[in-house]
Amino acid sequence: MGVVVASFVAVLGQVAFAGARVESRDDLADVSWGFPARWISQDQASLDPPFPWVVGVSSPWEHPTSIDWTSLALDVAAAALVLAVLVWLVVRGAGALRRRLLAT
């Protein structure tokens, strides 16, 4: 359970600090974030930045926002899988090291 919660926090954090490069006003109308699947989209066409520009997730009260829950779940599952494998490798390596130290 802790791996899933940590993965969820990591996925949300990645989106909170990620930027999306926009090249035109049309790009601002549908800006998406998420990795590997894009799961949050915003319409930031009300902005008037110089192009090219990097935008981040903004207030959903100011910019219409949609969330693709399936893609969010896939992102969390992918992050959980990677984190679980890393934890398993660390625990396995620590156990092998402990056995080696106790054998000497």
The domain spans of the chain are 2-103
What token pair was written down for 19? 């930027």
pLDDT, residue 73, reads 96
pLDDT digits (tens, 9 = 90+) for 13-41: 999 999 999 999 999 999 999 998 999 99
Can you tell me the distance from the alpha carbon of 56 to that of 17, in angstroms, rounded to the nearest whole number? Answer: 7
21: which DSSP letter? E
**Residue 99, pLDDT above cutoff 90:** no
Can you tell me the distance from the alpha carbon of 27 to that of 36, in angstroms, rounded to the nearest whole number? Answer: 20
**Which secondary-structure segment (H or E) carries 32?**
strand 31-33
